[in-house]
Every structure is written in structure tokens, then in C-alpha cells.
Structure 1
Amino acid sequence: MMSFDQTPTRIRLDAALNRVAITFRGMTARPDEDNCECHWGSAEELVQLKVPDVELDPDLLRRTWEAVDWDDHASVLRRILPQFSRALVHGLVEPFSGMEKVGHSLARGHWQQWPAEQAAAVREFLHAWWAHTLTDPDPAVPAHEVLALCAEASATLSPWLHAWETQTHTVADQHLVGAAAHWEYDLLGDQLPWEARNWDDQEETRTELTAWLIRHAPARLHTRNAPAELLHRIRLLGLDGPARWEDPHWPGHRY
């Protein structure tokens, strides 16, 4: 019997991580890159970003990807991506306010505009990680967090939701139950359940996610014996105004 570590999605993810490691091997931040010692870190730590392939300690890695004021964010990202991608997959990256922050960092680097080989390596990593998450009964990062990250990193929600549609097995459905339970409070308040990097995209993303959940979740959640309350809350997403909050199954949320 095939062990979990040998599943096709795990093999694909391992290959994607290896591709990132090879593609970005030897890269460094710009020689003149700078940052504030008071808010980011010491001069000695900054030097580490200008030396290729040296592992950063977890706190330095966190401060590096979180920083928003690099002169060349793309070069800094390329420097840390081999280590950063592995840390993400193993659940070692824990942003203060949600994994979408990682997506924001990737988006700031404009990775989709990088040379074709580099952009392809990042794209395949994100898709391979998402595919593996949907088949992993106990992923290091919950599916709803990986989705937010991928959506923000790529500035689109559609391909990630489409991938979830095609995965109709028990594990993917269980992740959908968990995600719906995590999302329902915000969506019933007409809010996106994560922080969008571009405010102008927030309403469009929320609308797409809500419509997708109404369309695809009920039958799958019913099959997995999801709580009746959760099924009602998804039904309520299809109602507007008083019809929603005067429904006998309105959960009493206050915003």
C-alpha cells in the first residue's frame, strides 16, 4: 500500500520545493540593500542577506519576509525563497494576523513578472502546495489559510477554487467543512474572511468566494454530515438584508 509520503501530490510538492531550491540557489539581496536597524535588524544580519545560501534563523527569516520597505523586495525574496518555501510547507511560518500576509509579501515582489523560469518555479510551488493541502488529512497549514495566501500572492481566487471543485474526495470535503465554519461569520457580515492587499479587490473577492460557497458547499457538506447550523448559515449567504437576519436560523452575529 502506498504510504502517505509517496502520494502523487507529495511527490509533486517535493519536486516543486526542489525546483525552487535549484532555481534560486546562489541569489542574494542587492549589495546596496539597506534597512533600519531599529525596526528590522542589525548590520550583521543584513550582511547575511547578501551572502548566498546561508540559512537564516527563524526570527530573521520572519522579519525579512514581513518587511515592507526593502528597496528591492524581489531580490530579497529570491534570496530567501528556498528556505522560506520549506518553512511554509512545514508550518513554521506563523504571521501575527493570517497567512494572507505571506501572500502580500510575495505579491510585493511582483514574482509573476520575474524571468520565466523563476516565475514558473514560484507558480508551481503554490499550485503543488495547494494540491497537497487538499489531499492531506492534517496539513501543517489549514486549507483556508493556504487558500488566502495563494489568492493574495497571485491576485486571483478562481484557479484555487476551481482546484477545490475538482477534488471531491473525503479529505477535500472535510477541509471545506472547516473552511466554511471559519468563513461564515465574516461572509454573513459581507466581509472577506482575510485581509486583501488591494482594497479595491476586496468586494469582488468576497462576492466570488460567497457565490462559490453557496454553489458548491451545501451538497458536499451534507454528504459529510456537517452540522445543520453550518448548512443553514451557508443558505443564509444567498439571502440579502432583512431576509437574512430575520430568518429563524440567523445565528445572532453582531458586527
Structure 2
Amino acid sequence: MTEHLEGEIEALYEVFGRVPRPLRVEGCAHCVAADEDRPLLAGPVRDLEPDVLQRYATEALLLWGDVPELRYFLPRLLEIGAGDGFEFGFPDPEIVFGKLGLARWTEWDDDERAAISALLTRWWELTVVDGDPWPSAGTVLCSLGRTGVDLVPFLDRWERLESTGAIRNLHEFVMEEMTWPSSGPKLRNPFWEKESAAYQETVAWLTDGRALAAVERAFQNESQDEPLTLLDEIHSVLGPQTTAVRAE
């Protein structure tokens, strides 16, 4: 994935390259060894291997370091997190991108916010049309939600359903990443923060008729058997659920 994000990643390195290298990355004295930060500071940030950043990426802002240190490591953290980092034992993307929410990045300087927003947008654009994305569209959507970004534009983008990949991703999301108990639909991914605006907006999108209308539009414009079958299966789930929710 990261080979298709080169421009956005380079922009992150350029913008955050002005952040000075920390002298130390202090951590909880009971949890982080006194010299455990040395490998993190041994060379250029873009050369750090995933296994070197692994523990810091998990514990940043919780037990290890603060926002200034996170800003220094951020380009490399997001580069690995948006790629195949967790194949190498890196934390799940939801954890990595959740650091942005903890750091309140939407209050940072304009050029920093713009660089991060460009990466998030491009990551989603590539993911949502990919027929077999890694990480999955559901994982990426949850990761975006954990940054605190408004998910409405991202869900609007998904509504186009202009490719078989986008339809496959919605099918997987509805069929495998959701449950439909009598109390209302729930998202399975444990990294979703159920009280967050992102969670509530995603559930609303699936139940207030917007996703169902997108499926029906796509059905009218589609002619291939595979996507038609997938759309029909999505409709069979969203249709009754959406009708029930709107009736309430």
C-alpha cells in the first residue's frame, strides 16, 4: 500500500522534519527501561525498522513520551501503520492512528493538519476501491475514526460504489464486521469507541437509508454477476434493518 502513498508520506517527512530530535524519550519508570529509548534515537527517523518502533508505537502518549516526541516519530509511524507494519509485529493500525486522536492533531499548525489529512484521504481512496485491501476497509475506517476526523466525507466516498472492489468491501463490512442484535446494529471491531462521533456516524450511515440507497443505485448501474450477487446480499441485510430503524 505505501508505494501508492509516496507523495503523501514524503509530505509528512517534509513538514515534520522541522521537529527537533528529542534528547530523550522518557517513559514510565516502572514500565520503560532507562536506556530503552536509545535505539529510537540512533539514526534518521525514516530509517527506523518496525521492530525498533514497535513498543514505542504501542505505548506512546500512554506510558512512553509525550506529544513532542510523537510529532518527531510521526511520519515513520504512519508510514508503517498504513502499510504492512502489523505483519512485522507492529501494533494494529487502529492503535497507531489512534495516537493522532490522543495528541489532538486537529489543533496543530495548518500545514501539519493538511499533510495528515492528505494521507488519511488518499489511504481511504486507495483502500475503498481495492478488491482485497490490506488492511481491510473496516480496519482502515476504524483507524480513521480513532484519529477524530469527521467520517462523513469518507462514507460519502464509499457511497459511490463505482467499482467491484468498493462493493466487495461493503459486503465484507456488513456481513463480517457487524452484528444486528435487537437492540440495534453494532460494529465488531473492538477498537471502535462506541461513544465516539465516528462510531455513531458509521452506524447511522448504515441504518438511516444512505448506504441502502447507494446499494440500490449501484444495482441499477451494474451488469456483472459477481457484484450483483454481492449487492443483493448486502440489500438483504440492510433493507430490513434500515426499514426497522427508520420505523422506530
TM-score of the two chains, using structure 1 as the length reference: 0.74
Q: Which deviates more from structure 2 when the two are superposed, residues 92-101 or residues 227-236?
A: 92-101
Offset, 1:208? 3.2
Q: Which residue of 2 aligns with 1:80?
A: 73
Q: Is the 8 A contact 2:67 2:103 kept in 1?
A: yes
* Aligned pairs for 1:52-63 within 5 A: 53-54=44-45, 55-63=47-55
In structure 1, the residue corresponding to 2:44 is in which secondary structure? coil
Q: Quick one: distance in 2 between partners of 1:80 and 1:70?
A: 16
Amino acid at match of 1:34: E
Q: Which residue of 2 aligns with 1:191?
A: 186
Deviations 1:115-136 (A, max 9, x none): 1111111111111111111233
Specify which of 24, 33, 56 is matched with residue 64 of structure 1: 56
Specify which of 30, 33, 36 is matched with residue 45 of structure 1: 36
In structure 1, the residue corresponding to 2:230 is in which secondary structure? coil
Amino acid at match of 1:160: F
Specify which of 139, 142, 145 is matched with residue 148 of structure 1: 142
Instruction: Report the count of equivalent residues.
Output: 234
In structure 2, the residue corresponding to 1:176 is in which secondary structure? helix
Q: Quick one: distance in 2 between partners of 1:82 and 1:96?
A: 15
Offset, 1:204? 4.7
Q: Is the 8 A contact 2:194 2:200 kept in 1?
A: no
Q: Which residue of 2 aligns with 1:89?
A: 82
- Residues 164 and 24 of structure 1: CA distance in aligned 2, closer, same or farther (over 3 Å): same
Q: Which residue of 2 aligns with 1:113?
A: 107
- Residues 199 and 184 of structure 1: CA distance in aligned 2, closer, same or farther (over 3 Å): closer
Deviations 1:150-193 (A, max 9, x none): 12213322011112224512222222222222233257743234
- Residues 174 and 128 of structure 1: CA distance in aligned 2, closer, same or farther (over 3 Å): same
Unaligned ranges ≥5, structure 2: none
Q: Which deviates more from structure 2 when the two are superposed, residues 24-33 or residues 57-66?
A: 24-33
Q: Which residue of 1 aligns with 2:130?
A: 136
Q: Quick one: distance in 1 between partners of 2:67 and 2:181?
A: 33
Q: Quick one: distance in 2 between partners of 1:197 and 1:128?
A: 23
> Are 1:23 and 2:15 counterparts?
yes
- Residues 113 and 192 of structure 1: CA distance in aligned 2, closer, same or farther (over 3 Å): same
Unaligned ranges ≥5, structure 1: 245-255
Percent identity (aligned): 22
In structure 2, the residue corresponding to 1:43 is in which secondary structure? coil
Structure 1 residue runs of 4 or more that deviate by more than 6 Å after TM superposition: 94-97
Q: Quick one: distance in 1 between partners of 2:92 and 2:53?
A: 17
- Residues 37 and 48 of structure 1: CA distance in aligned 2, closer, same or farther (over 3 Å): farther
Q: Is the 8 A contact 1:187 1:210 kept in 2?
A: no
